[in-house]
Structure 1
């Protein structure tokens, strides 16, 4: 096998490992409506006046990424919505693969729909992986800062990823990066140092008027190094999950899909006035 094909195959195996964990099932898809989110008749309460928009990660979708967190938030009185974005023609269910700039435009339209349905002037955003980074383009370049109060990123690749250093080999294999770009531009956009990330982070990580909250795990095997997830700027809170519970072993997928300690920290970020300490005991909260 040619060297560049070996590299692309290795990248695919690592990324598809994530996809396998999130692989959709008919039962999971059917469960979503009964869990209470994407209820377009929901009206925000005085206690939780802003709807929450959930933004899935690469290879994710609006259901599978949120079978844990969406009900968690609905049960706490939030109006919760999730979208699909970054679809590629002929690729069902596995989303977040298209150009990220275009995906941010899809988020823009979805937030407008949510605000129109709920009557709320602003929304809060919660995203996992790519979904914890992509909305920053919406906030910075598409006017999203006027419509968003808080943005919570769970294991976001804010400054790209080297996939444990693997992507640093791309320049040594002529044509490999072009192949990835042509097939899955959403992946190439997330490589550390990409043109997309360079523009996104020029002039600072944040924009005025939005609260940012990043939740990372030291065991992240996809967004590496994990500290590249953190943001710098005013109104930023960076949290390492193991500083809240040293026994939490969640990695990149688990922190966004099943980790109730992380979910508790999300709830704190959405409602800081009623926040309670995030600890190992949050798993039963």
Structure 2
């Protein structure tokens, strides 16, 4: 926008000459005006003919729903939540949750409750899809939700920490229904869940598993792997975390963050 220059008093300076323009000057002024108008019209034409620039893509991460394992509480996931927030995830896109039984009863029922939670988070945030960050028994409920309910089009990434994906030999917890469902590789629940694919709808969803050689709950160690996952990450050595500490381990959380950001545009 062009502004008239002003004098010290804030008013436009007065003209001191009253001499009228000669015909020659009037003709020259008209020519300059015509040339200026032509230039401006050409510029306007170039602007209108140019292809419109696309609007920049909206920045941000898919909401993350963090789910503890059997007998766990949402508070178990607070370190993970704080870690994501301190690394750039907005607080209003981070959620901790568990089902009404704390993953101790039928995991198919837990999956149905997860479906409602996903819909609630999508409605609250306006996001099309969510990331599921799961631990132990909830890794199974989340896969059930993706495979058998309506999760295929609502989940962008699945992250499983220390999941008994193929059962566990440390299965002295069978007073819980959920433990019965993963007490061995051959339970009806796992047979149905793992066939024909352990990573359902992997054309739409990216899968990461994180397991540790120091995990004595989900045993053997490779029970936590998923055939066909985008990445099965193994932690070993003297600093490998336990089943309980893997969800707050700095290396494991860094792997989760890097995986999420690497696959956000898949």
State TM-score, norm by structure 2: 0.71
Alignment of 1:128-143 (within 5 A): 128-143=135-150
Larger relative contact order (C-alpha < 8 A, sep ≥ 6)?
A: 1
The 1-side partners of 2:234 and 2:136 are apart by: 15
The match for 2:84 is: 73
2:69 is aligned, of 57, 81, 87, to: 57
Residue in 2 that maps onto 1:237: 231
CA distance in 1 between partners of 2:179 and 2:160 (Å)? 18
What residue number does 1:227 align with? Answer: 222
Separation in 2, partners of 1:67, 1:240: 23
| Contiguous gaps of at least 5 residues in structure 2 | 1-56
CA distance in 1, matches of 2:96, 2:66: 5
- Determine if the alignment matches structure 1 residue 157 to structure 2 residue 157: no
CA deviation after TM superposition for structure 1 residue 77, in Å: 2.7
C-alpha displacement of 1:269: 1.6
Aligned partners of 1:137 and 1:200 also within 8 Å: yes
- Indicate if the aligned counterparts of 1:62 and 1:84 stay in contact, CA closer than 8 A: yes
User: In 2, are the aligned partners of 1:86 and 1:97 still within 8 Å (CA)?
Assistant: no
RMSD across aligned positions (CA): 1.9
C-alpha deviation, 1:113, in angstroms: 0.2
- The equivalent of 1:266 in structure 2 is 256
Distance of 1:101 and 1:251 partners within structure 2: 27
What is the total number of aligned residue pairs between the two structures? 202
Unaligned runs of 5+ in 1: 1-44, 88-94, 168-176, 275-285
Give deviations 1:236-272, integer Å, cap 9, x for gaps: 2101022xxx44231111111x211111111112111
1:26 is aligned to: none
TM-score (norm 1): 0.67
